Amino acid sequence: MGFDCPMYFSPAMDPSRCTTTNIGGSMAMAGNALNGVYPVGFSAPVRADARRVVILLTDGAANAGYYDNGQPICPAYTFTRSPFCRDQDPRPTRTDSFNARHVKTDVFLYDADDYARDMIDFVTTDQNTLIFSIGLGALAGPGTDGEVLLEYAADKSAGTYYFAPSSSQLAGIVNNITASLSR
The CATH code of the domain that includes 124 is: 3.40.50
CB 122 within 8 A of CB 155: no
CA 8 to chain centre: 22
Q: What letter would DSSP give residue 90?
A: P
The pTM (predicted TM-score) of the whole model is 0.85
Q: Give residue 64's domain range.
A: 10-39+46-181
Residue 58 domain-assigned (yes or no) = yes
Number of domains in the chain: 1
Beta strand extents in 32-86 (DSSP E only):
53-58
Q: With respect to residue 172, please indicate whether it lies within any of the assigned structural domains.
A: yes
56 close to 153: Cβ distance less than 8 angstroms: yes
- Percentage of residues in the chain having pLDDT higher than 70: 85
Radius of gyration of the chain (CA): 17
**Domain annotation covers residue 1:** no
Share of the chain above pLDDT 90, in %: 43
DSSP-derived letter for residue 174 is H
Chain Cα centroid distance, residue 14: 21
Q: Which residues pair with 12 in a beta bridge?
A: 9
List 167's β-bridge partners, or say none.
none
In this predicted structure, the answer to whether residue 92 has a pLDDT above a threshold of 70 is no
Q: List the beta bridge partners of residue 55.
A: 132
**pLDDT recorded at residue 85:** 82
